[in-house]
Amino acid sequence: MSTALPQACSAAELAADLGLQVQGDGETMIHGVATLSGASPEQLSFLANAGYRKQLASSRAGAIVLDKADAALAVNARCVLISTNPYADFARIAARFGRDERIESGIHPTAVVADSASVSPGAHLGAYVVVGPRCTVASGAVLGPGSILGEDCHVGADTRLVARVTLVKRVRLGERVLLHPGVVIGADGFGLAPTRDGWIKVPQMGGVLVSDDCEIGANTTIDCGAIEDTILEEDVRLDNQIQVAHNVRIGAHTAIAGCTAIAGSTRIGRHCLIAGAVGISGHLEIADRVRINAMTLVSHSIHEPGEYAGAAPMQDARSWRKNAARLRRLDALARRMLAVSKEDTDD
Amino acid sequence: MSTALPQACSAAELAADLGLQVQGDGETMIHGVATLSGASPEQLSFLANAGYRKQLASSRAGAIVLDKADAALAVNARCVLISTNPYADFARIAARFGRDERIESGIHPTAVVADSASVSPGAHLGAYVVVGPRCTVASGAVLGPGSILGEDCHVGADTRLVARVTLVKRVRLGERVLLHPGVVIGADGFGLAPTRDGWIKVPQMGGVLVSDDCEIGANTTIDCGAIEDTILEEDVRLDNQIQVAHNVRIGAHTAIAGCTAIAGSTRIGRHCLIAGAVGISGHLEIADRVRINAMTLVSHSIHEPGEYAGAAPMQDARSWRKNAARLRRLDALARRMLAVSKEDTDD
Amino acid sequence: MSTALPQACSAAELAADLGLQVQGDGETMIHGVATLSGASPEQLSFLANAGYRKQLASSRAGAIVLDKADAALAVNARCVLISTNPYADFARIAARFGRDERIESGIHPTAVVADSASVSPGAHLGAYVVVGPRCTVASGAVLGPGSILGEDCHVGADTRLVARVTLVKRVRLGERVLLHPGVVIGADGFGLAPTRDGWIKVPQMGGVLVSDDCEIGANTTIDCGAIEDTILEEDVRLDNQIQVAHNVRIGAHTAIAGCTAIAGSTRIGRHCLIAGAVGISGHLEIADRVRINAMTLVSHSIHEPGEYAGAAPMQDARSWRKNAARLRRLDALARRMLAVSKEDTDD
């Protein structure tokens, strides 16, 4: 592993690279990025969330990427870069100043590779990596320390398993996929048939397809399909500790926040935004461009794009206990109320 | 590891093995299993979920396992096998066609085994397995790559740790237990005593007993008991990312879906079905044959078998916000309504 | 690893060490600790949870630590030790009887340590530990088997990674921190900027600071900050499978139960008690000494100490379905009711 330090450049150069408009002193030299409240005059910051707008006037940042409408508020900055998508342009600039972490290809002497596996000479295998039978690892792929590939798995070009990722069986990863530590893909789905004597395990014979440009957070689990595959289309982004059950399909460009659980055979559309700790029942269909708010239980299919919710409101516990006690008898209360209302109308 | 390909056989042979009734051409040769929509004429499929009944007529499957009542709907199949439990019988047939993955006994040269541990010559230890002091591993047990046994753990005959499973201390696994990657059993329970100066850790001195035929999903955690043991009775089936706190006891044949959390010292009965993302408070008792629906908070004991629920309904977010705002004042609303109702009655 | 068995001592000695008052026979010899229902006459037990008070009279324990008010109920015990904090004093006594597990310093021959890393000769590195570039490990630290340190991480004195813990990058652990298996700290936060062509990853350039005396449960994940650090102040206690997103700050002495998820940039106060499976939205502020009940969604900031709740009540599923159906139309119901009420008032 070799590390090159990023180099300083002028605000005008950054703006030219990304097609941004410069207001103020474009010669301002930028050495790195920071938050509005933490930036020094040698750093660039950004405003993308209106909640931080009040920090704009007092920020010491040398340059700030922001929306045209906010430019006049950055009274302290030597320079502003006007963008139609400040967060994305900040991300592009930050990537330039990130540590250039170049991972060299090669197989660590402790890696254990099955005879029937095929590892590109352009791939990197870290310490204590295990690659099982009939696996293939493409050029530019990085298997970080402690990662384990079971059987019949494929890791595409420039895909990275940061560390301690497990691909169990029949997992195909596309190109430029990023998997964080603790991820488990391709473990058996939860398939059980009840009998008089207890459970019979239903063999889980499908695989998992993770398409190009997906990212999967720490300790997230994606089960293999029962017969057909579990599928993530391209550019799906999963946060930490998400559970994806067997035969789920997640559409391209959908992003899901931490701790959400998706039960078996559900199909989620493209460009959906699903918040954290959501539960999605099995065998449902969710349309494209659906937004689901945190801690909602999705118990039926969603056919129209839009925003959906269903988490109970938080209150001081004393008030909530009273309200919850009424909720337990809401139907009776409603019946009584409707009877009164009807009598009233009948008058 | 050696792999034998499964062999084709006739539908009549499969039926004879399982005591199923054949309708149609029993000589239909079956090479594998598939879904109703994906099957070819050389494959067998099944119908167990009424939601897929509409696929029966168009399925190209050569043979279909189904309930007697559905037999007439399978107009395309050369043959149907009539079962009183189609899902279980499909599971049995699928197991026959699964890849015969035979794991040979032996200790990988990279496994590290403590002097005081005892590993049967009939066990398999994969690459980078670590077996700590006073552990025992029985014949037929498989410790997949990267698995770690801490101290005083026992792995029963024919039990399998697929890969990267951690047994921390005082964990006893019965026979034919199946643990998926990322499982952690026997870590300290969450025992803390408050003092004026902060928290004091309460030593967690119990163990964990996982009885015969249990299955535990990826990244599920089961803590050791504080003093006595945490216990799973036989044939308990846990999905992925479940949390089982110290001194929980789960009755035989109970199945729990992903992301459910069970707090300390709760006892769950036998033959329960607990859905995903359920929360169960501590120190409760749950009777046998209880079903709990997804995302319910179980905050008090359940003494009667039956189905229980408590997740708020999902709606479009605009409607939900209005309803939730009312819910925050439901007690006041109810009081007002009851006052009106009373006046009305008083008239 | 060497193990010394704990020694017996008299109840009076234990009381003297902790400043407890003895009633009964202080010469009672104690060989270990147990639950009220499981203790033998050679064991000490305790009563701290009123739910177990009914077990006091029948307990066979030789000595019992309890509150003064309960002393008269322990009619069977040869001796009681009266404490103002029975649970904390029991914890202190239990620690004395716990197995004295002394882990010797030294580096296992299979540990892989980068040239630029610095490991104290007083530290212990177990089998298959990997320590990456520019990491430092202080004296008394224990890195259990399979633990991985990526880049630029620091492990403080007497801190223990039980096994298979992953520190990804820029993670600083204080002294006496305890991390259970499967913990992942310092993986990338979930930072994405939307563009017309899909998501752009926002570089996650901050680190994680875990202060002295924190404990973190199995499979819990704590992401690195986007720009500044994610921070746990001293004596924070996290249970299993908790998700802490980027730039969260958790105040000293706060304890959080299993499966709770905290979204990005939220600040939680000191001395908070957060129950299990709670969801906390991003960019919020939670005051000191706040208690949040299980499965509550915290969707707005909390400025006052106190107890907060918001999980819907559990019922038999039939009743709940009726109530939930009404809840879906609660606003309309309330409008109608208020109209009637108004008419009524108008009379």
In the predicted structure, residue C101 carries a pLDDT above the cut 70:
no
- Res. C99 pLDDT band, cuts 50 70 90: low
Rounded CA-CA distance A65/A51 in Å is 16
Read off the pTM: 0.95
Question: Which residue did the predictor score with more confidence, C48 or A115?
Answer: A115
In the predicted structure, residue A271 carries a pLDDT above the cut 60:
yes
Chain C interface test: which of B110, B200, B307, B328 (most C C-beta within 10 Å): B200
The first and second tokens of residue B76, run together, are 């395309």
Rounded CA-CA distance A219/A181 in Å is 7
- Res. B343 pLDDT band, cuts 50 70 90: low
In the predicted structure, residue B190 carries a pLDDT above the cut 50:
yes
3-state per-residue secondary structure call for B30-84: ECEECCCCCCCCCEEEECCCHHHHHHCCCCCCCEEEECHHHHHHCCCCCEEEECC
Within 13 Å and on the Cβ side, how many CA atoms surround B144? 26
- Report the SS3 class of residue A291: strand
- Residues A14 and A124 placed together within one structural domain of the fold: no
Pairing of strands A100-102, A2-4: antiparallel
In the predicted structure, residue C322 carries a pLDDT above the cut 60:
yes
Rounded CA-CA distance B228/B224 in Å is 9
Q: Is A80 in contact with A66 (CB distance < 8 Å)?
A: yes
User: How large is the angle between the packed helices C330-346 and B330-346, nearest 10 degrees?
Assistant: 40
Chain B interface test: which of C143, C331, C340 (most B C-beta within 10 Å): C331
Pairing of strands B178-179, C267-268: unpaired
Stretch B99-119: mean pLDDT: 89
Q: Which helix (H) or strand (E) holds A330?
A: helix A330-346
pLDDT confidence of residue B98: 72
Q: Is B261 on the interface with A (CB under 8 A)?
A: no
Chain A interface test: which of C116, C128, C130 (most A C-beta within 10 Å): C130
Rounded CA-CA distance B315/B324 in Å is 11
Question: Please, which residues have CB within 8 angstroms of residue B16's CB and are 6 or more apart in sequence?
Answer: none
Stretch A94-122: mean pLDDT: 89
- Residues C163 and C94 placed together within one structural domain of the fold: no
Q: Is A28 on the interface with B (CB under 8 A)?
A: no
The first and second tokens of residue B57, run together, are 């007529």
Rounded CA-CA distance A192/C272 in Å is 41
Chain A interface test: which of C115, C148, C314, C319 (most A C-beta within 10 Å): C148
Amino acid at A83: S
pLDDT confidence of residue A99: 62
For A23, A92, A94, C126, C298, the CA distances from A20, given in Å and listed in that order, are 10, 12, 15, 52, 38
- Helix, strand, coil percent content, chain C, rounded in steps of 5: 15, 30, 50
User: Closest by alpha carbon to C174, among C194, C153, C193, C188?
Assistant: C153
The arrangement of strands across the sheet holding A285-286 comes to A118-119, A136-137, A154-155, A171-173, A208-210, A230-232, A249-250, A267-268, A285-286
User: Closest by alpha carbon to B246, among B235, B259, B262, B260?
Assistant: B262
Q: Is C334 on the interface with A (CB under 8 A)?
A: no
The first and second tokens of residue A276, run together, are 């954290």
The first and second tokens of residue B189, run together, are 């329970």
Stretch C39-65: mean pLDDT: 93
User: Closest by alpha carbon to C130, among A163, B96, A201?
Assistant: A163
Range with lowest mean pLDDT among C3-17, C22-36, C38-52: C3-17
Rounded CA-CA distance A32/A62 in Å is 10
Stretch B331-341: mean pLDDT: 87
Q: Is C54 on the interface with A (CB under 8 A)?
A: no
- Residues C175 and C283 placed together within one structural domain of the fold: yes
- Report the SS3 class of residue A257: coil
Domain boundary among A53, A75, A101: A101
Q: Which long-range contacts (CB under 8 A, 24 or more apart) does B75-81 make?
A: B77/B24, B78/B11, B78/B24, B78/B25, B78/B28, B78/B41, B79/B11, B79/B22, B79/B23, B79/B24, B79/B25, B79/B26, B79/B28, B80/B22, B80/B23, B80/B24, B81/B11, B81/B14, B81/B15, B81/B18, B81/B20, B81/B21, B81/B22, B81/B44
- Please indicate whether, in this complex, the C-beta atoms of C312 and B310 are within 8 angstroms of each other: yes
- Chains touching C by CB (3 or more pairs below 8 Å): A, B
pLDDT confidence of residue A133: 96
Q: Is B176 on the interface with A (CB under 8 A)?
A: no
- Report the SS3 class of residue C156: coil
Specify the CATH number for the domain of residue A71: 3.40.1390.10
- Residues A260 and A227 placed together within one structural domain of the fold: yes
In the predicted structure, residue B84 carries a pLDDT above the cut 50:
yes
The first and second tokens of residue A136, run together, are 């293939």
In the predicted structure, residue C297 carries a pLDDT above the cut 70:
yes
Q: Which helix (H) or strand (E) holds B333?
A: helix B330-346
Pairing of strands B178-179, B215-216: parallel
pLDDT confidence of residue C338: 83
- Res. B325 pLDDT band, cuts 50 70 90: very high
Which of B246, B271, B300, B303 does the annotation list as catalytic?
A: B246
Q: Is A191 on the interface with B (CB under 8 A)?
A: yes
Stretch A59-77: mean pLDDT: 93
pLDDT tens for each residue of C109-135: 999 999 999 999 999 999 999 999 999
Nearest residue of B to residue C335, measured between CA atoms: B326
In the predicted structure, residue B172 carries a pLDDT above the cut 80:
yes
Q: Is B330 on the interface with C (CB under 8 A)?
A: yes
- Please indicate whether, in this complex, the C-beta atoms of C193 and A87 are within 8 angstroms of each other: yes
pLDDT tens for each residue of B114-152: 999 999 999 999 999 999 999 999 999 999 999 999 999
CB pairs < 8 Å spanning B and C: 230
- Report the SS3 class of residue C111: coil
DSSP per-residue string spanning B152-196 = S-EE-TT-EE-SS-EEEESEEE-TT-EE-TT-EEEEPP--EEEET
- Residues B125 and B271 placed together within one structural domain of the fold: yes
**Interface predicted TM-score of the whole assembly (ipTM), two decimals:** 0.94
- Chains touching B by CB (3 or more pairs below 8 Å): A, C
Nearest residue of B to residue C296, measured between CA atoms: B297
pLDDT tens for each residue of C233-259: 999 999 999 999 999 999 999 999 999
- Res. B100 pLDDT band, cuts 50 70 90: low
Q: Is A267 in contact with A252 (CB distance < 8 Å)?
A: no
In the predicted structure, residue C16 carries a pLDDT above the cut 90:
yes
All residues of chain B having their beta carbon less than 8 Å from the beta carbon of residue C51 are 283
pLDDT confidence of residue B2: 43
Q: Is A90 on the interface with C (CB under 8 A)?
A: yes
Chain A: nearest CA to B253, how far in angstroms? 6
All residues of chain B having their beta carbon less than 8 Å from the beta carbon of residue C147 are none
Q: Is C291 in contact with C308 (CB distance < 8 Å)?
A: yes
- Res. C50 pLDDT band, cuts 50 70 90: confident
pLDDT confidence of residue A347: 47
The first and second tokens of residue B56, run together, are 């029966």
- Residues A7 and A34 placed together within one structural domain of the fold: yes
Mean pLDDT of chain A: 94
Stretch A246-267: mean pLDDT: 98
Rounded CA-CA distance C288/C292 in Å is 12
Rounded CA-CA distance B185/B204 in Å is 13
CB pairs < 8 Å spanning A and B: 230
Rounded CA-CA distance A103/A163 in Å is 13
- Chains touching A by CB (3 or more pairs below 8 Å): B, C
Domain boundary among C58, C83, C101: C101
pLDDT confidence of residue B317: 98
Nearest residue of C to residue A236, measured between CA atoms: C199
Which of A124, A180, A246, A253 does the annotation list as catalytic?
A: A246
Rounded CA-CA distance A224/A226 in Å is 7
B130: nearest CB among C145, C237, C311: C145
Q: What residue ranges in A83-228 does DSSP mark as E strands?
A: 100-102, 106-107, 112-113, 118-119, 124-125, 130-131, 136-137, 142-143, 148-151, 154-155, 160-161, 166-169, 171-173, 178-179, 184-187, 192-195, 198-201, 208-210, 215-216, 221-223
Domain boundary among A50, A68, A101: A101
Chain C: nearest CA to B261, how far in angstroms? 7
Domain containing B254: what range? Answer: 106-308
Domain total of chain C: 3
In the predicted structure, residue A191 carries a pLDDT above the cut 90:
yes
- Residues A92 and A197 placed together within one structural domain of the fold: no
- Residues A325 and A289 placed together within one structural domain of the fold: no
- Please indicate whether, in this complex, the C-beta atoms of B328 and A313 are within 8 angstroms of each other: yes
Q: Which helix (H) or strand (E) holds C332?
A: helix C330-346
pLDDT confidence of residue B277: 98
- Please indicate whether, in this complex, the C-beta atoms of B314 and A308 are within 8 angstroms of each other: yes
Q: Is C41 on the interface with B (CB under 8 A)?
A: no
- Report the SS3 class of residue C269: coil
pLDDT confidence of residue C97: 83
Q: Is A279 on the interface with C (CB under 8 A)?
A: no
- Helix, strand, coil percent content, chain B, rounded in steps of 5: 15, 30, 50
Question: Please, which residues have CB within 8 angstroms of residue A340's CB and are 6 or more apart in sequence?
Answer: B337, B340, B341, B344, C340
pLDDT tens for each residue of A206-241: 999 999 999 999 999 999 999 999 999 999 999 999
Of chain C, the percentage scoring pLDDT greater than 90 comes to: 88
Dihedral, CA atoms, B176, B177, B180, B182, nearest 10 degrees? -140
Neighbouring CB atoms inside 10 A of C174's CB total 22
- Res. A3 pLDDT band, cuts 50 70 90: very low
Pairing of strands A315-316, C306-309: antiparallel
pLDDT confidence of residue A231: 98
Task: Give residues 93 to 152 of A whose Cβ lies within 8 Å of B.
Answer: 110, 112, 128, 130, 132-133, 146, 148, 150-151
Q: Is A259 on the interface with B (CB under 8 A)?
A: yes
User: Closest by alpha carbon to B172, among B186, B194, B155, B196?
Assistant: B155
Length of chain A in terms of residues written? 347
Rounded CA-CA distance A186/A201 in Å is 16
In the predicted structure, residue B155 carries a pLDDT above the cut 80:
yes
Stretch B215-220: mean pLDDT: 98
For A315, A323, B322, C176, C306, the CA distances from A319, given in Å and listed in that order, are 6, 6, 18, 41, 12
- Residues A297 and A187 placed together within one structural domain of the fold: yes
Give, rounded to a whole angstrom, the gap between the first and last alpha carbons of chain C. Answer: 85
Rounded CA-CA distance C123/C126 in Å is 10
- Residues C97 and C111 placed together within one structural domain of the fold: no
Amino acid at B12: A
pLDDT confidence of residue B102: 72
- Report the SS3 class of residue B340: helix
Specify the CATH number for the domain of residue C163: 2.160.10.10
- Residues B321 and B299 placed together within one structural domain of the fold: no
Q: How many whole angstroms from its chain centre is CA B328?
A: 37
In the predicted structure, residue C346 carries a pLDDT above the cut 90:
no
Residue A246 falls in the annotated catalytic set:
yes
- Residues A323 and A302 placed together within one structural domain of the fold: no
Question: Please, which residues have CB within 8 angstroms of residue A280's CB and are 6 or more apart in sequence?
Answer: A260, A261, A262, A263, A266, A268, A274, A286, A292, A298
Q: How many whole angstroms from its chain centre is CA C302?
A: 21
- Res. A338 pLDDT band, cuts 50 70 90: confident
Range with lowest mean pLDDT among B43-52, B153-162, C20-29: B43-52
- Please indicate whether, in this complex, the C-beta atoms of C263 and A257 are within 8 angstroms of each other: yes
Q: Is B312 on the interface with A (CB under 8 A)?
A: yes
Stretch A107-125: mean pLDDT: 98
